[in-house]
Chain A
Amino acid sequence: MLSLSMPLLAHGDLSMRIAEKTIAISEDPDNSELYYERGLLYQQHMEYDNALEDYLKSQSMGNSNKALYYQIAEVHFLTKAYQEALQSINSYLELDSMDLSAKKLQAQIHFNLKSYKKSLEGYRTVILNMKDIRPEDVLEYCNIILAENNKNYKAALKAIEYGLDQLGPHTISLQLKKLDYLKDAGLTEKALEQYNYFILEYSRNEFWYFKKAKYLVEIHKPHEAFISLKMATVAVEQLDTKFKNMGPVIELKEQIKSLESSLNNQKS
């Protein structure tokens, strides 16, 4: 007899629902839908082997629902069986070529198979057609762009701008990535402008002055770095006491001191 008691505390409701579904299967063993439904529960419970077993069982019993192909592809993807994942998502897309979630999964599978051109092409379709993209989508797209050509910062920055246009000009994760790309591409003036953007945009800017100073040191502008460090010091001084006593600010003060001392040593 199936015991309901043991796994309950692991994932609460989910474990209970798996157990209930198992009982339902035992009462109606020829119902392919029940295996599919239990597979979904197993997948949520991160029991991927069990999920896949149920999906395949459901398929072997005649379930040809396109959603099943998607789930099989997703479980293969999660378990890094990318070839199998690709096969299944392709079957799904044969039934529904316009589904953007499936296109996205296909692009992610291609990426992991290092088929970067195909991945890029697919993800571009997703980015341009998805109604509500997220910052994460734009960042993933940029990642694929640079995997396909690790010098193509121009395209990556263009994708960031597209994201900012879609999601709002101050979307922080995109602005942060823009800074990374400008620095990596050696576009120093634009990178400095980007640091200034953060300094001007945010109400607390002590961290940004310091980060800018560090970058100025990296690009051999010690005097500008020195001025930025002074700005950082003043910004810290102007904070309320409660913020001055927070760990990250205490650490920042030490970092400012250290960089200042290193700059002074360079001078002398």
Chain B
Amino acid sequence: MAAATATRTAGRAASAQPRRRRRSAAPARVLLGWSAANLVIVGVALVPLLWLVSLSFKTPASITDGSFIPNEWTLENYRGIFRQSLFTRALLNSLGIALISTALAVALGSMAAYAIARLEFPGKRLLVGMALLIAMFPQISLISPLFNLWRILRIFDTWVGLIIPYLTFSLPLAIYTLSAFFREIPWDLEKAAQVDGATPAQAFLRVIAPLAAPGMVTTAILVFIFCWNDFLFAISLTSTERSRTVPAAIAFFTGASQFAQPIGSIAAAAVVITVPVLVFVLLFQRRIVAGLTSGAVKG
């Protein structure tokens, strides 16, 4: 018994030495591992994007040469797409539809979120549950019914026809994000505003809304990106330049001749519509991360 304990202690003492050495080596190796993994992931994500940028600067003749850095640089692809009304009109549609949807989603979403965060009303849980349900709904399954419905209602191929489904899917997101922000505003502030002589609307506009502004900006960016990037609704619910957005319009690009591939123009258009989103995300990246996680973890 005593002997066994002794050997065990001895063994432990012996093993302590290499373990200590291993511990000092471990952080370096972990760091190396993580860096490698990060590099791989960034590479996987960035290479296609950079390739797209590279394609957009290539001449039609050199487009299939397979070199990552263009041998002949040209801005012709960019000039070309901006000469076509197909693209310029689509850019206008995209901007208009995305901005209107965002404004509506934030306005309606903040009212709903405020009620959810502050008030007890019958059916509150049901409302929150329904909102979540809608967000989970596979969009593709809605396309055929919406297509028929929109034609009957005569809003097929209109801005409204796209704004409505965009609102449907972005409102749950907006409500969830915003109610997390509203919950963090102390209720006393609102009581104070009321006692100070504010109507509920004034209390909301003058006290609560300014404090929830960061949340609203975050929500606006998330909703804007969702609407801006959508392809499914845009391709299915539009048929002409009247309301076709850029992601859908790109599919209609044609080459210079019947036999030429419009790869250069597509690449240029893709780069053009990526830029605003990229700028937004870089400017507000901290806020977006906060918005995405604020519903999940308190603080």
To the question of whether A and B form a pair in one complex, the answer is: no
